[in-house]
Structure 1
Amino acid sequence: MVSVRELRGGLMSNKYCQALVELRNKPAHELKEVGDQWRTPDNIFWGINTLFGPFVLDLFTDGDNAKCAGNTSPACVTS
């Protein structure tokens, strides 16, 4: 496991890792603050959609990045 010290020291100095370190230091956060955690990668979605689609529900969306009309968001999952 990479320590916060190593992350800050430049081992993993990309913006995503820096944002995760900042979130770890907060007392609480919402899932949507983590970034694309809920997003279905385009290549996976379109590949599976081609084989088995068309999809009508996107389970891995934050509500703003849905791949199809039917979706659920973290708020729906936790409600």
Structure 2
Amino acid sequence: MADLVEVLPHVHFIQAKSAEVDDDLRDLHVPWDDIVSTLLDHGWSGWLSSEYEGRRDPYRGADQVRRQHALLRRIAARR
């Protein structure tokens, strides 16, 4: 996260890619707890833009983005 902190003053937009958020709202590939905590701890006020990169089954992408948003909200609420 130290590399992220170093560039945060210059970052206003982050592409928040995700491939698999499980039923318990855990991302199996991206450490969102660490990322969101770092962003909030350093007063970042930019934008996260969700992008689903997983399987292209019908309706799966919309559900995965919904799960990612719920995951991010839950992390932010704990802070």
With the shorter chain as reference, the TM-score category is: under 0.3
The structure richer in strand per residue is 2
Q: TM-score, with normalisation over the residues of structure 2?
A: 0.27
RCO comparison, higher one (Cα < 8 Å, 6+): 2
